[in-house]
Amino acid sequence: MLSNFNIDNIIRTALAEDINYIDITTDLLIDPSDMTKASLVAKADGVLAGIDVALRAFCFEDDKIICEKLIEDCSILKKGDVIAKIEGPTASILKTERTALNILSHMCGIATYTKKCVDAVAEFDVSITDTRKTLPGLRPLQKYAVLCGGGNNHRYNLSAAAMIKDNHVDAYGSVFNAISTLRERAGHMVVIEVEVRTLEELKEAIDAGALVIMLDNMTPEMLREAVELTNGRAILEVSGNVTLENVYEIAETGIPIISIGALTHSVKSLDISLRIEK
Amino acid sequence: MLSNFNIDNIIRTALAEDINYIDITTDLLIDPSDMTKASLVAKADGVLAGIDVALRAFCFEDDKIICEKLIEDCSILKKGDVIAKIEGPTASILKTERTALNILSHMCGIATYTKKCVDAVAEFDVSITDTRKTLPGLRPLQKYAVLCGGGNNHRYNLSAAAMIKDNHVDAYGSVFNAISTLRERAGHMVVIEVEVRTLEELKEAIDAGALVIMLDNMTPEMLREAVELTNGRAILEVSGNVTLENVYEIAETGIPIISIGALTHSVKSLDISLRIEK
Amino acid sequence: MLSNFNIDNIIRTALAEDINYIDITTDLLIDPSDMTKASLVAKADGVLAGIDVALRAFCFEDDKIICEKLIEDCSILKKGDVIAKIEGPTASILKTERTALNILSHMCGIATYTKKCVDAVAEFDVSITDTRKTLPGLRPLQKYAVLCGGGNNHRYNLSAAAMIKDNHVDAYGSVFNAISTLRERAGHMVVIEVEVRTLEELKEAIDAGALVIMLDNMTPEMLREAVELTNGRAILEVSGNVTLENVYEIAETGIPIISIGALTHSVKSLDISLRIEK
Amino acid sequence: MLSNFNIDNIIRTALAEDINYIDITTDLLIDPSDMTKASLVAKADGVLAGIDVALRAFCFEDDKIICEKLIEDCSILKKGDVIAKIEGPTASILKTERTALNILSHMCGIATYTKKCVDAVAEFDVSITDTRKTLPGLRPLQKYAVLCGGGNNHRYNLSAAAMIKDNHVDAYGSVFNAISTLRERAGHMVVIEVEVRTLEELKEAIDAGALVIMLDNMTPEMLREAVELTNGRAILEVSGNVTLENVYEIAETGIPIISIGALTHSVKSLDISLRIEK
Amino acid sequence: MLSNFNIDNIIRTALAEDINYIDITTDLLIDPSDMTKASLVAKADGVLAGIDVALRAFCFEDDKIICEKLIEDCSILKKGDVIAKIEGPTASILKTERTALNILSHMCGIATYTKKCVDAVAEFDVSITDTRKTLPGLRPLQKYAVLCGGGNNHRYNLSAAAMIKDNHVDAYGSVFNAISTLRERAGHMVVIEVEVRTLEELKEAIDAGALVIMLDNMTPEMLREAVELTNGRAILEVSGNVTLENVYEIAETGIPIISIGALTHSVKSLDISLRIEK
Amino acid sequence: MLSNFNIDNIIRTALAEDINYIDITTDLLIDPSDMTKASLVAKADGVLAGIDVALRAFCFEDDKIICEKLIEDCSILKKGDVIAKIEGPTASILKTERTALNILSHMCGIATYTKKCVDAVAEFDVSITDTRKTLPGLRPLQKYAVLCGGGNNHRYNLSAAAMIKDNHVDAYGSVFNAISTLRERAGHMVVIEVEVRTLEELKEAIDAGALVIMLDNMTPEMLREAVELTNGRAILEVSGNVTLENVYEIAETGIPIISIGALTHSVKSLDISLRIEK
């Protein structure tokens, strides 16, 4: 699902950052013909994401490295699980180990946290969604990892869908004018969402015909009122400072879409290591 | 201190990720001649890192945007602090806002956490150091943010210094052989560190003449013994699962260098926002 | 509206293609200090698109070139109109002339043809839309030129919106299943369009709840029936072999959206030249 | 003949433009293990150019796709001809289809139009040649397609040969001075062509020893006089607003070289489609 | 004359090679606000080439650096000459010094050796020409430096002109067939040179109508015979193991064109240094 | 040991420089199905470096080319030695020949000269080391070739180790202050070298605790005094205008490390050619 044209630049940059010229220790000490078997092992419970990227990183510089994937992306990982086997020249494996692990740990961290949020609200009919708060250069990997954790992707970028905010409304005098102007200019393949901060604005947006409305930083009480007030006339999305701690409380309000910036901007990596079999 | 050849690729990629073609909402609704003033505001306490990168991102596409920096990197931020003023075409500011904030929040998150670790061990003569566990493509920004938080940088990459691990030792029969072989081949500008997992290995490394030794995942008790056993004959570094929670306990043991992967692999972003003045 | 990160790669590549090392004739014959004034002149009627890109190309290599724009993008051009004034070192102007003109003539060609199609159906409430049939590397310029000609942009790429075709339907047994599966997986910011080839399929798509439906290669008679059959329950789009010659006939049928691949895949450039004032 | 270093950047850029992150429709609906057979089919008569590039585009992202080429570049295509067979994962084929077709249709369009021009003047000993009026980034593909259609390539860029125009002559007072200065400075591997607009200038150019002379925008009558006046003392080239419509009339005048900008700046794509066998 | 699109990639790569992340010594010791004046000084006699590239390298990362050029490319340098003044932040000047000097010393080395060869044969009407034996990535800088030294450029690349060698002749049975086939296929803007190794082959090439002929690795005696035998019917070029030591002896034979691979493949850099004024 | 991410950019750039569009001569004359066998042959004595890079260049564009390596890097070459066999399409071999040879001849030139220097001082316990005086873009290849010749690499870049010079000392009032400040800020993995120009400065540096000291441009007499004065308290390095001619005289002084800029800034290429077997 991830395209190589997105992945390869990331891998190449990461290898160049980590190796630069040579691996002084490995290249000067290890015989290039020395061979090793190794395993990627989960050191904590979580969700797998990015195994194909990690294995591609291992093989990027040396096609004598052979990888066998044992677990697929989106699977639940238990501490101790062997995710994949890697076999080939010791020197090449040692040189690419850190790069592969850095990528995999980050992506699994995202999928794991996403899955926790999804599970936390499993009893409701709600979608956990990411945001544009991604790390520079890593959006393709991060958005994919959110999918692996059971989340949905919000718009990929500013060209893919529209989001009318305060400043846009101000320029047109009213939400109604902003929506109708944009509806005409943007073409028929663009979803338009409107961001509102008060119930007043919500009412106005609904009246203006908004079909998707983002409720920014509202309290659970306000959200409950918003659901009632909207009464099915628009799709509601909550955004702003949602975390695993408060996501249940928000889902309880009946809002169907909860977007969480922390999925991608505050990632705790999942501990994964390479066990070298001597 | 950060070079533009490192920064610009990151900014360009991040802008392309976030804008792709056009900002449908902004480009189709906001008059290009409409002008705005805005402020970068800290929404939480922390340490500033990356303000020059963020301001460069704002100006990257439109040289009519003018930025005034009010606070310098490495400074303490208090919630509510105005970090910089931005003035220029509304459309251009709205289009680059997310990219600039994504970079700045991430870098401040690193500096803030680093500073907390540094402060936690302030009473000891100890250096908080990063690792090679960085996110792909972001090492220059991340390592710089660690400096802003008062930390030190470990080696930038595998060419910059040597680290002898198990596998390298195995290939040479003994730590002694590995060190002396590498000492001869690596030239005089390379520091050689040896990683050990037991006090046995530590003793062997000291006897072999190792000047820098990394103690991997040892308990505070073992660390204390290690300091005693070493008795100044080598520089000791601790690594492995150190966090803000246990860093004091480790520093207490007398180890002078503590490297923390979480500084860069598990970053919680600092909340910073752009306040647009109407 | 066009971002420099999209434009600059195109300009740089085009200059490198056209110059390679030096302009043998100009660099070896013209004194670098020799200065010239020149004008960009329309040699045919049309619509202006890409003037900022063309002027940026002129100045790309030599900041001593100064450009004055006299006409803005989207304006009607009459044969003989002076679009911009360029002044600076003769050698630099001669070296970049062809690159700037190649870009501008192509973009104006697109805008001009788009405008003709838009004008041809002006009496109907219809949107002329482009497709993904663009030339490799030129999509940003081409889609923007369509906007300059009064057209709309269809989805920018496969991530920005969905289009369910035969093959997708086959995999799910029915249009209904395909739509509902995709609706769940794709998130709330994605518009889903369904492509149909017969009135049977159209009926099925409407019944399945499709909100946007593309009618592929249908005759005007079929289109008329489709409009009647749909009766406002979905937005209809026509696609396939539409040109300026038959666009009126199609618009007459009442279809509100007509997408035309030829806008970008079969472009006749507009004749524009650089008049050098001696 | 086309080098991969030229092709691959174009393919990678085109795929990134068309896919961006994922193919929402295909990636979310089609099982990655689902396999398909398909055929590239000509929907109109023409000349084949770029089949290797198109097949490389199909395989670029997924090496499980296997292509079998049935027709070689430069061959005549009849409507209905199967150009190649493609077999592999359905999802991968659907994702790359548009990119491959966009490239192939454009290149075949160029070869087809070139061949029509070549055939139109088949009874004369004349060469149909392209110009520097190519589309940005596509010069390698376009110049190659001209060869496939039976045309010749004019100089690839400003470094490959010289063309003395008005402005160059003005700087040296006379055609004679310009030619002799350039002859001395340019080295022995550079062909020098001189552009003239009147018969006066032609005479002057011949007297100055010009071996290749371009006649810019002359009428057939003037061209005939030019041939007579030149009487074999120089190679003559016609340029300026030549199309399929008037190329015969020009070839009749006896000019041996006719360069046509429209071959590459105003391309009508050839209709080619991918027929998926269910 | 050199285009920035060629230069900037070289400078950026060189800076990245030399700096990587930070200049540990300078960035950690020198106050960023500390200012310095410095001079580029020739430490040996030679010819200047590349001063604009070098100064661009100094300013590449810091627009607060101001450069004043005192001597122009192609000028004779005497030991002690001040070539340019540089003023700006001490840290930035120290960080870019090595990169700028590496480029400048190399280019001046080429120009200086070329000038020596040109001067050595000044009494003859002969052109000193470079070859395709350039260093990877540096051809634009190297070919330009040859011009600065008074030499000429041979073809820039394999697309710019033709050179028929043994292998090409073998494929066509005779020089005559090879030339006439290529003449027809290559278009009218391509110079065709034929390489010969014996006087027999030379005769054959002249009879076949070759206008430019390269004499490969012939002795002065053979060259003299070749000139006599040719008697003005073709332009002759000598190539193969020419150096400053034997160039006079070769020029004496009357051959008008002498190409020297060593101009670019075996460059002795010219000693230039940056004198920092305290 | 050399990573492909470093090599491939160099090869791709070099091929693009040398081929540009097509090899006019070869592509228009040689049948693509014509096959050839060829050998890489040393035309002079030397040391092999870069054979893997050269063979990768041969295969870069055409995977039908098969290479067999007969001699490994670091081996002594005798004139006439066959280094490798190449077999495949004649056209592809002819098109890549020059690029492969340009790279190989340059790298062997470096290894050969390095080896001569190493051999010249073989009776002493001394290390021949390169410098940062490398050619732009070629540092990875050049530093590796130095290793092949038996030399050592000095720091790869300004991030890998520190070198305190005059200007740095001035900013801190004394060598002592500069060293201790840097020692604290730079972290524990950085070697700090101090450059001195007089014996006074040397004494000061030793007293300041410098462990590595570079003696800049000193006479053999001064070097001898320096060794005596230092008496093992620091590692001494000589730098500045060392060549094969004077390296013995310097090694005699007892200095253990001699760095030579000429290894990489003034390279005489080794003559290697491709012998095509008919």
* Sequence spans of domains, chain F: 4-118+267-277, 122-265
Tokens of A106: 């980050």
Instruction: Give the span between the Cα atoms of E154 and C14, in whole angstroms.
Output: 24
Pairing state of beta strands A257-259 and A127-129?
A: parallel
Instruction: Give the span between the Cα atoms of F21 and D140, in whole angstroms.
Output: 6
Residue A219: C-alpha distances to residues A163, A197, A230, B95 (Å): 21, 11, 16, 28
Angle at E116 between CA E111 and CA E118, to 5 degrees: 90
Residue F161's pLDDT is 97
Tokens of F37: 């066998």
CB-based burial label for A221 (10 Å; 0-12, 13-18, 19+): exposed
CA-nearest of D98, C156, B107 to B115 is B107
Asked whether the beta carbons of C193 and C214 are under 8 A apart, the reply is yes
The answer on pLDDT for A278 being more than 80 is no
This model of the complex carries an ipTM of 0.97
The arithmetic mean of pLDDT across residues D257-270, rounded, is 98
Asked whether the beta carbons of F79 and F45 are under 8 A apart, the reply is yes
Q: What beta strand segments (E) does chain B contain?
A: 35-42, 46-47, 66-69, 76-77, 82-89, 127-129, 162-164, 192-196, 212-216, 235-239, 257-259, 272-277
Shortest Cα distance, chain D CAs vs residue C142, angstroms: 12
**E3 → chain C, closest CA residue:** C61
Question: Is E216 designated active site?
Answer: yes
Q: Which long-range contacts (CB under 8 A, 24 or more apart) does C71-75 make?
A: C72/C48, C73/C48, C73/C49, C73/C111, C73/C148, C74/C47, C74/C48, C74/C49, C74/C111, C74/C147, C74/C148, C74/C149, C74/C150, C75/C47, C75/C48
Are F5 and A12 a contacting pair at CB < 8 A? yes
**D18 → chain C, closest CA residue:** C157
DSSP A187: -
Residue F170's pLDDT is 86
Question: Which CATH class for the F4-118+267-277 domain?
Answer: alpha beta
CA-nearest of E187, E127, F23 to D191 is E187
Instruction: Give the span between the Cα atoms of C56 and C8, in whole angstroms.
Output: 9
pLDDT digit string (tens) for chain C, length 278 residues: 999 999 999 999 999 999 999 999 999 999 999 999 999 999 999 999 999 999 999 999 999 999 999 999 999 999 999 999 999 999 999 999 999 999 999 999 999 999 999 999 999 999 999 999 999 999 999 999 999 999 999 999 999 999 999 889 988 889 999 999 999 999 899 999 999 999 999 999 999 999 999 999 899 999 999 999 999 999 999 999 999 999 999 999 999 999 999 999 999 999 999 999 86
Count of residues for chain E?
278
Tokens of F16: 């693009």
Instruction: Give the span between the Cα atoms of E9 and E20, in whole angstroms.
Output: 15
Per the rule left: phi > 0, alpha: psi between -120 and 50, beta: everything else, C238 is: beta
pLDDT digit string (tens) for chain B, length 278 residues: 999 999 999 999 999 999 999 999 999 999 999 999 999 999 999 999 999 999 999 999 999 999 999 999 999 999 999 999 999 999 999 999 999 999 999 999 999 999 999 999 999 999 999 999 999 999 999 999 999 999 999 999 999 999 999 889 988 889 999 999 999 999 899 999 999 999 999 999 999 999 999 999 899 999 999 999 999 999 999 999 999 999 999 999 999 999 999 999 999 999 999 999 86
Contacts of E278 (CB under 8 A, 6+ apart): F170
Sign of torsion, CA C169 C172 C177 C183?
A: negative
Gyration radius of chain E over CA positions: 23
| Sheet of F257-259, strands arranged across | F127-129, F257-259, F235-239, F212-216, F192-196, F162-164
Residue D148: C-alpha distances to residues D2, D153, F7 (Å): 12, 11, 34
The arithmetic mean of pLDDT across residues A239-251, rounded, is 96
For testing contact with chain F, the best of B189, B237, B238 (most F CBs within 10 A): B189
**Residues of chain E predicted below pLDDT 50:** none
Are A168 and B267 a contacting pair at CB < 8 A? no
B268 SS3 class: coil
Residue F167's pLDDT is 86
Instruction: Give the span between the Cα atoms of D24 and C38, in whole angstroms.
Output: 48
Are F187 and B212 a contacting pair at CB < 8 A? no
Tokens of F49: 């470096």
CA-nearest of E44, E40, E47, E146 to E101 is E40
Interface of D with C in 160-219 (CB under 8 A): 160-168, 170-172, 178, 181-182, 185-186, 190, 192
**F275 → chain E, closest CA residue:** E167
C223 SS3 class: helix
Q: Mean pLDDT across chain A, nearest whole number?
A: 96
Which helix (H) or strand (E) segment holds residue A82: the answer is: strand A82-89
Residue B3's pLDDT is 95
Residue F6: C-alpha distances to residues A18, C151, E273, F56, F141 (Å): 13, 46, 29, 13, 9
Are F99 and E18 a contacting pair at CB < 8 A? no
DSSP C1: -
Torsion angle of the four alpha carbons D136, D139, D145, D147, in this order, in degrees rounded to the nearest 10 = 150
- For A73-105, b where at least 16 C-beta lie within 10 A, e where not — what string? bebebeeebebbebbbbbbbbbbbbbbbbbbbb
CATH topology of domain C122-265: TIM Barrel (3.20.20)
Are D3 and F15 a contacting pair at CB < 8 A? yes
Would you call C156 an interface residue with chain B, using a CB distance cutoff of 8 Å? yes
Q: DSSP states of B176-218 as a string? A: HHHHHHHHHHS-TTB-EEEEESSHHHHHHHHHTT-SEEEEES-
Q: How many Cβ atoms sit within 10 Å of the Cβ of residue C7?
A: 20
Q: How many Cβ atoms sit within 10 Å of the Cβ of residue E72?
A: 11
Given a contact as 3+ CB pairs under 8 Å, which chains touch A?
B, C, D, F
Shortest Cα distance, chain D CAs vs residue A140, angstroms: 6
pLDDT in tens, D24-83: 999 999 999 999 999 999 999 999 999 999 999 999 999 999 999 999 999 999 999 999
Q: DSSP states of B16-53 as a string? A: HHHHSS--HHHHHHS-TT-EEEEEEEESS-EE---HHH
**Catalytic choice (D37, D133, D155, D224):** D133
Question: Is B73 designated active site?
Answer: no
Would you call C140 an interface residue with chain B, using a CB distance cutoff of 8 Å? yes
Q: DSSP states of chain F as a string? A: ---HHHHHHHHHHHHHHHHSS--HHHHHHS-TT-EEEEEEEESS-EE---HHHHHHHHHSS-TT-EEEE-S-TT-EE-TT-EEEEEEEEHHHHHHHHHHHHHHHHHHHHHHHHHHHHHHHTTTS--EEE--S---TT-HHHHHHHHHHTT-B---SSTTTSEEE-HHHHHHHSSHHHHHHHHHHHS-TTB-EEEEESSHHHHHHHHHTT-SEEEEES--HHHHHHHHHHHTTSSEEEEESS--TTTHHHHHTTT-SEEE-THHHHSPPPP-EEEEEE-
Instruction: Give the span between the Cα atoms of E85 and E101, in whole angstroms.
Output: 14
Would you call F10 an interface residue with chain D, using a CB distance cutoff of 8 Å? no
Would you call D12 an interface residue with chain C, using a CB distance cutoff of 8 Å? no
The arithmetic mean of pLDDT across residues F10-16, rounded, is 98
Are D172 and C268 a contacting pair at CB < 8 A? no
The answer on pLDDT for D170 being more than 90 is no
Instruction: Give the span between the Cα atoms of E274 and F17, in whole angstroms.
Output: 32
Q: Mean pLDDT across chain F, nearest whole number?
A: 96
Q: Phi and psi for A198 in degrees, rounded to 5?
A: -135, 165
Helix C90-120 with C51-59: angle, nearest 10 deg: 170
D25 SS3 class: helix
D208 SS3 class: coil
Within 8 A of E15 by CB-CB distance, chain B residues are 3, 5
Within 8 A of E154 by CB-CB distance, chain D residues are 187, 189
DSSP A173: S
Asked whether the beta carbons of A83 and A70 are under 8 A apart, the reply is yes
Place of tokens 């929907």: D43
Shortest Cα distance, chain B CAs vs residue E21, angstroms: 6
Q: DSSP states of F180-228 as a string? A: HHHHHHS-TTB-EEEEESSHHHHHHHHHTT-SEEEEES--HHHHHHHHH
Are A212 and C188 a contacting pair at CB < 8 A? yes
